[in-house]
Structure 1
Amino acid sequence: MELDFEHCYRAVDSRDPRFDGCFYTAVRTTGIYCRPSCPAVTPKRENVTFYLSSAAAQRGGFRACRRCRPDAAPGSPEWDTRADTVGRAMRLIGDGVVDREGVPGLASRLGYTERHLNRMLTAELGAGPLALARAQRAQTARILVETTDLGLAEIAFAAGFGSVRQFNDTMLEVYARSPGQLRERRPAARSEAGVVNLRLAYRPPLHATSLLEFFEARTLPGVDEVDGQTYRRGMNLPHGSAVVALRPGDRWVHATLRLDDVRDLAPAVARCRRLFDLDADPVAVDGLLGGDPALTAAIRAEPGVRVPRAVDGFEMAVRAVVGQQVSVAGARTTLGRMLRAASEAGSASPAAASGEPAPIPQPAASREAAAVPAPVERLAGFPAASTVADLPDSAFGMPAARRATIRALAQAVADGKLDLAPGADRAETVARLTELPGIGPWTAGYVAMRAIGDPDVFLPTDLAARRGAEALGLPSTAKALGAYAERWRPWRSYALIRLWRSA
């Protein structure tokens, strides 16, 4: 990736928020780096350097602007769209893999040596995996310092730092403030232990209604729910479970997270962002799709429609298999039966297994209190693959062939033969999915779109897509619709959501 100075400078001069997270502006005379939309006076051309990542700017000796908080900008849409090694690496780093497994673990997942991976990331982003993970640790630590009452030493290790000294040095370097000084600046209102309130930035527009309607039609008892404008769900994270509540607002999605272990903050935030597709570039997507007269009216009426994604790839794959050739309501009934059986068998998370409520407490009063979701009853993550694989036949309530498919899927995930994480190789995952009995192109494509985040999936055989196409005056046979959809590349997943809404 290369940055064109003139394009970048014009974006900074116009304070265009669409470019937040796509690149960072470093000013040599101040030693500060900002997001493009920073309201500060536009710096002179001769004093500016542009970077592709906050880590590269920090590596160049610049500290984060305290006014525009560039470390909290939306992620670059490049990492959602790209299926190459660098794109996969960025998604895995965002999910905290380097903090949990180190650079060797990241390199092993990607199939490269540490040295070669470092060369690739440095060549494209100006920073290697350690520097990129360090920038993320600093942001996680700042959130914990400013929103919790945890001790600073606890925060250091929760954020992934190896020592308190490393934590202090990094915070001074990145923010020009010690952790203690950052804590002095925090709001007076506090929330209870284990609860973090924050705002997730996105590039407008965001059509929140389409997301909430999609999730509401597919909620599962004890896993997720929609209450008005708030979506809540349980999640299984690397160090424990969590309950999250997301409420879309103007320029931000207000998030309340109740974590069993605060070390899971970074992966929880990454998965929430992925769930609502917050790193997308809706202007680019709508710009291309809006060039088709058949979609122009829909895009004008509903700008910023996103692809509803997933926090758990295995959960999404099971939902896809259960949903084969049945209605959405029928799939919910079948999945609910499976969840009850899994709960009786021990379920997937400590909260669900204990039977004790895991509420999201009411946050302390603040300027955003009205926008933060209310408490929820117990919610838990979807059962683990090993749990589903061991369920009795009576738990499934479906034909024997489909039951066998779910068992084969669960066993493949439990054994590590099938990777459904966002950093998985998309082509390889689709190939391995279709090798399983009972999984064809429709199911594999649906999983690739929602679990792995492929923005260019199209399902021409899908009945709802064909009905939506017919309603818009487009070809409605699978072959003709598939050929027509070629003009929507590389955003066919977004076009598919549009067709579903038209149906």
Structure 2
Amino acid sequence: MQLDHSICSSARLARDRRFDGRFFTAVKTTRIFCRPICPARPPLERNVTYYATAAEAANAGYRPCLRCRPDAAPGSPAWGLVSTTVQRALKLMRSEREAQSIETLADRLGVSSRYLRQLFAEHLGVSPLAVWQAERALFAFGLLRDTGLPVSQIAYESGFNSLRRFNGVFKHIYRRTPSDVRRESVEGEAGGAGASGTRLYLHYRPPFHWRELLAFFRARALAGVEQVEDEVYRRSFVLDGVRGVLRVRDQGSKNRLVVEVSGEGGAALYLLNQRLRRLFDLDADTAEITAQLAADPLLARELARTPGVRLPGAWDPFEYAMRAILGQQISVAAATTIAGRVVARYGESFVDDSGEEHRLFPAPQQLADADFDGLGLTRARAQTLREFVAATLDGRVNFAETELADWCARVTALPGIGDWTAQYIAMRGLSMPDAFPASDLGILQALGKNGEKAKPTQALARAENWRPWRAYGALLLWQSLKNGEDQ
């Protein structure tokens, strides 16, 4: 991935937070790599090399800076510029707690291991294993500095089943052992969230409108599972066999979300971190999105109101797909109510450490024999839900699919599911940035003129100029209706 050195130089000298996580500065004299916002004295330009990702810098033999902490940088938007196969590989690598062999990963992608290695070398300049190790070591560093978890548990949470292997990889990247870092963190923020929980910090690039996201989630909060109150998002979860509760609040002064997690023993923290980053769209390339969408006058006005647009994601693709199917041709409130009935009837309940009861959205296996009768659904809609559950269980529905056209073709082949539903699931359930439900009533109203709704063909034609960020355009159109914009 090519970087513009003049832009990188200007950004690091200005310590511009908009570029945090977009590139890393490696210093040849010290063999350390930093974020562009590093508070240390800037090195001379002749002594630096720029890398698009932390994995590239680590693979080149540079160790992460202990002052600016590359582990705390927002995710790199550079990953979105690579080939589709590499994107799918990265998604699979991040969806599993443990490492997969290159052969297993290639087999799941339907390519040869040799070809997959070539793609990573061409697009990222590093091997799949190097990316995995760098990302997990950086995540582990954050746990060592910011929590009081034992080193052995941190190794497990980061994806290492062998403490010896964890120590080896960590020392190779940081040039110090995990125990060294733990001792150095005594004066930092270590301590977690108390004896029964853990605190994580998820950093983002400003601007970031937490209240706008919370308003979206509040209107769709699922009873017993989700709650938005006092600018805090809370939900129950089950991850890697562990049940728990998470609470998320914004700490805008430090450009990060604070996540407090309580659960049964370990809480699959790496996987939880990845899901939350997608849920709140923390790694969005807002500068690129804004530059593309601001050419449309209507979207430009909305971007001026809420700069740094984020696409509300979903905790779990299956959960969201079921909710999208329930929401076909009914209001958001009605769909949320019926989804709550599904949870109440089929979802598992548990009690947290404080004695409060929570429910979990049912997994596909729990709904294998569900009839969905008596929930306020038509027979046709209940049958569509049963078909979708069956397709999920037998593999006809693949949530790892990252090609929008393939996903829509696969899902609309099921009875009772049209393009609107497939696009909407892709947009929020799978966080596909170019998904666009062109027949959505709100979109057609927002794009209409003189009181007349636009037609789906007109919406598609106008949105062609928004690619590959049409999903963000759809979100801004919905916001324009809420803000009373007259197009």
* TM-score of the superposed pair, with normalisation by structure 2: 0.91
Selected match of 2:376 from 384, 394, 397: 397
The residue number in structure 2 matching 1:366 is none
What's the Cα RMSD here?
Answer: 2.4
The residue number in structure 1 matching 2:206 is 204
The residue number in structure 2 matching 1:217 is 219
Q: Deviations over 1:336-362 (max 9, x none)?
A: 11111103xxx3xxxx2xx32355xxx
- 8 A Cα contact 1:224 1:379, kept in partner: no
1:174 CA displacement: 2.5
The residue number in structure 1 matching 2:395 is 416
The residue number in structure 2 matching 1:328 is 332
The residue number in structure 2 matching 1:368 is none
Q: Deviations over 1:270-318 (max 9, x none)?
A: 0000000000022222222222222332221211221111121111111
Distance in 1 (CA, whole Å) between partners of 2:41 and 2:357 is: 48
1:460 CA displacement: 2.2
Distance in 2 (CA, whole Å) between partners of 1:437 and 1:307 is: 28
The residue number in structure 1 matching 2:485 is none
| Number of residue pairs matched by the alignment | 476
Deviates more, 1:183-192 or 1:244-253: 183-192
Does residue 134 of the first structure (1) align with residue 112 of the second (2)? no
TM superposition outliers: structure 1 runs of 4+ over 4 Å = 80-83, 471-475
1:104 CA displacement: 3.3
1:498 CA displacement: 1.0
Distance in 1 (CA, whole Å) between partners of 2:231 and 2:96 is: 29
Distance in 2 (CA, whole Å) between partners of 1:129 and 1:60 is: 14
Distance in 2 (CA, whole Å) between partners of 1:496 and 1:405 is: 26
Q: Deviations over 1:86-121 (max 9, x none)?
A: 122222323336x25443332222222223212211
Distance in 2 (CA, whole Å) between partners of 1:358 and 1:438 is: 42
Unaligned runs of 5+ in 2: 482-487
1:468 CA displacement: 2.4
- Quickly say closer, same or farther: Cα 1:189–1:385, change in 2 above 3 A: closer
The residue number in structure 2 matching 1:4 is 4
Distance in 1 (CA, whole Å) between partners of 2:112 and 2:267 is: 27
The residue number in structure 1 matching 2:37 is 37
Report the 3-state secondary structure (helix = DSSP H, G, I; strand = E; otherwise coil) of the residue aligned with 1:391.
coil
1:23 CA displacement: 2.2
Distance in 2 (CA, whole Å) between partners of 1:409 and 1:81 is: 32
The residue number in structure 2 matching 1:338 is 342
- Quickly say closer, same or farther: Cα 1:171–1:44, change in 2 above 3 A: same
Q: Deviations over 1:143-198 (max 9, x none)?
A: 33234444323332332235333322333333333222221223364534562212
The residue number in structure 2 matching 1:372 is none
The residue number in structure 1 matching 2:413 is 435
The residue number in structure 1 matching 2:484 is none
Selected match of 2:352 from 357, 367, 372: 357
Report the 3-state secondary structure (helix = DSSP H, G, I; strand = E; otherwise coil) of the residue aligned with 2:176.
coil
1:261 CA displacement: 5.0
Q: Which amino acid aligns with 2:258?
A: H
* TM-score of the superposed pair, with normalisation by structure 1: 0.88
- 8 A Cα contact 1:202 1:278, kept in partner: yes
Report the 3-state secondary structure (helix = DSSP H, G, I; strand = E; otherwise coil) of the residue aligned with 1:26.
strand
Selected match of 1:496 from 455, 474, 477: 474
Q: Deviations over 1:48-79 (max 9, x none)?
A: 12223212211211110011111221112243
Q: Which amino acid aligns with 1:392?
A: D
- Quickly say closer, same or farther: Cα 1:127–1:263, change in 2 above 3 A: farther
Distance in 2 (CA, whole Å) between partners of 1:241 and 1:81 is: 35
- 8 A Cα contact 2:157 2:270, kept in partner: no
Distance in 2 (CA, whole Å) between partners of 1:480 and 1:131 is: 46
The residue number in structure 1 matching 2:113 is 114
Distance in 1 (CA, whole Å) between partners of 2:239 and 2:81 is: 24
- Quickly say closer, same or farther: Cα 1:56–1:82, change in 2 above 3 A: closer
The residue number in structure 2 matching 1:88 is 88
Q: Sequence identity of aligned pairs in percent?
A: 41
The residue number in structure 1 matching 2:231 is 229
Selected match of 2:262 from 258, 262, 267: 258
- 8 A Cα contact 1:81 1:454, kept in partner: no
Does 1 or 2 have the higher relative contact order (CA < 8 Å, sep 6+)?
1
- Quickly say closer, same or farther: Cα 1:242–1:416, change in 2 above 3 A: farther
1:326 CA displacement: 0.3
- Quickly say closer, same or farther: Cα 1:80–1:389, change in 2 above 3 A: farther
Q: Deviations over 1:252-273 (max 9, x none)?
A: 1111122435361111000000
The residue number in structure 2 matching 1:153 is 152
- Quickly say closer, same or farther: Cα 1:254–1:157, change in 2 above 3 A: closer
Does residue 67 of the first structure (1) align with residue 67 of the second (2)? yes
Distance in 2 (CA, whole Å) between partners of 1:57 and 1:195 is: 33
The residue number in structure 2 matching 1:56 is 56
- Quickly say closer, same or farther: Cα 1:280–1:460, change in 2 above 3 A: same
Distance in 1 (CA, whole Å) between partners of 2:37 and 2:48 is: 15
Q: Which amino acid aligns with 2:233?
A: Y
The residue number in structure 2 matching 1:244 is 246
